Amino acid sequence: MDEENKMSIPFLFRCPISLDLFTDPVTLSTGQTYDRPSIEKWLAGGNSTCPVTMQRLPDFSAVPNHTLRQYIDRWLLRGVADHRNSQQGSGIPISLTILKTGLLSSETPLAAKLEGLRKVRVLSTESDVGKSFLIQLDFFPVLVHLVFQCPLEIANLELVELALDCILRLSPSNNLNYLNVLKQDAAFSSLVVLLEHGSSKMKTFLCILIEAISTSTTTKELCSLLGQSQTVLQVLVSLLLQSKTNEQASDAAAAAMAGICTSVESSRSDAIKEGAVEGLAEYLSTGVRRNASNALAAMEVLMGEENGRKAGVHVGAVRVMVKWVFRVSSKEEGSERAVGALMAICRASSRARKEALAAGAVTQLLLLLQSQCGGTAKAKARALLKLLRSSWEENNEM
């Protein structure tokens, strides 16, 4: 940032170390306030004094300066109004525009880009006004470019992971049009490679992004491409199978798989072929899960396919779904989805009916009928009880 633009930011709003706008102001025991990234870098360098007063610090504690944060937010808000009415605006639109240009430039050093992304992350997380400003200044497509349109052989994984984090914090569901750039061959290939070879955190971020893509007709074609990708489906299944050791990634994978399977009918057969039923059954078998309702919704639509029902019987999915028929802690629609999935598989398979009976499905269904569940869930429960009763009577007559 040049000197003219620095001066446009109020002096009290600039960190004494970086001379840039505070993104996360914290106060030391000496009473001096610094931007958290700057003071942490200072202390990490082996320094034990306050940079301004040069007093030795009795401790390295840093207390968030909420009052200064509020003043900066108010100033930012006035800056938004100024920016709407003027091309020049106030200092912050200018400084953020320079930051955006730096992120896009191939000549900007990696360290500077990482520092810039950290500022974007803090602004998008700590300040609603800052987040609004970043969206208005079109930072979302810049971040998408950094992640998916940089040649993979020169991409820095730390930068990609940080940029992905920022994308999610800037509400991808409100910026879905920008994600259609991923339909381009090179960008889509980047997404697939990052999903396959990225870190666990990166895979989690990408699964959350895939779920967002699956929620809108704006990105329906992109969702179809994801559902047609053998690699994407295989990675999602592998994450589901790791549900006991990687909870966050498996939760995100469950929502992503559900989004693809429920939104794109043509993807279901491929998903089943790649092991989606086994992966979802494993995920649901590990107890109460954050995205159990999504997983059950996916299981219900997959049980609507003949090969899905065969896979369900083969991997023991019936017993797993019986456990989800009535769960006090689960969402009501989760129970309804579980009953729907059981209905589909039990209608087509006598073996599935026997397994459901042996797993205690009748008791679960009766408990569900006595609960405050909705009319649709009760109707499905009654129909399944009738089907299981017929099977039970046939077995007793034999």
The pLDDT profile of the chain, 398 residues, written as one tens digit per residue, is: 444 444 467 888 889 998 888 888 999 999 999 998 899 999 999 999 999 999 999 999 999 998 888 888 777 666 544 544 444 444 455 567 778 888 988 888 888 899 889 888 887 876 666 777 788 788 999 999 999 977 666 668 889 999 999 999 887 777 788 899 999 999 999 999 999 998 999 999 999 999 999 988 889 999 999 999 999 999 999 999 998 888 999 999 999 999 999 999 999 999 999 999 999 999 999 877 888 999 999 999 999 999 999 999 999 999 999 999 887 444 556 788 999 999 999 998 889 999 999 999 999 999 888 887 788 888 999 999 998 887 775 555 44
| Distance of alpha carbon 8 from alpha carbon 16, whole angstroms | 15
**What is the predicted pLDDT for the residue at 87?**
44
Q: For residue 75, is it within any domain?
A: yes
Q: For residue 90, is it within any domain?
A: yes
Q: For residue 390, is it within any domain?
A: no
**What is the predicted pLDDT for the residue at 398?**
46
The answer to whether 324 touches 334, Cβ cutoff 8 Å, is yes
SS (H, E, C) the chain: CCHHHHHCCCHHHECCCCCCECCCEEECCCCCEEEHHHHHHHHHCCCCECCCCCCECCCCCCEECHHHHHHHHHHHHHHHHHHHHCCCCCHHHHHHHHHHHHHHCCCCCHHHHHHHHHHHHHHHHHCHHHHHHHHHCCHHHHHHHHHHCCCHHHCCHHHHHHHHHHHHHCCHHHCHHHHHHHHCHHHHHHHHHHHHHCCHHHHHHHHHHHHHHCCCHHHHHHHHHHHHCHHHHHHHHHHHCCCCCCHHHHHHHHHHHHHHHHHCHHHHHHHHHCCHHHHHHHHHCCCCCCCHHHHHHHHHHHCCCHHHHHHHHHCCHHHHHHHCCCCCCCCHHHHHHHHHHHHHHHHHCHHHHHHHHHCCHHHHHHHHHCCCCCHHHHHHHHHHHHHHHHHHHHHHHC
| Distance of alpha carbon 227 from alpha carbon 301, whole angstroms | 14
Q: For residue 356, is it within any domain?
A: no
**Count of CA atoms in the C-beta half-sphere (13 A) of 163:** 25
Q: For residue 2, is it within any domain?
A: yes
Q: For residue 287, is it within any domain?
A: no
For 273, the token pair is 């072929």
Q: For residue 209, is it within any domain?
A: no
Kindly tell me the sign of the dihedral angle through the C-alpha atoms of 169, 174, 175, 176.
positive
For 104, the token pair is 């896009």
**What is the predicted pLDDT for the residue at 76?**
67
**What is the predicted pLDDT for the residue at 213?**
93
Number of domains, the chain: 1
Q: For residue 384, is it within any domain?
A: no
Q: Please state the pTM of the whole predicted model.
A: 0.76
Strand order in the sheet with 33-35: 33-35, 25-27, 63-64
CATH for 70: 3.30.40.10
Kindly tell me the sign of the dihedral angle through the C-alpha atoms of 299, 300, 304, 306.
positive
For 107, the token pair is 């000549």
The range of the structural domain enclosing residue 55 comes to 1-96
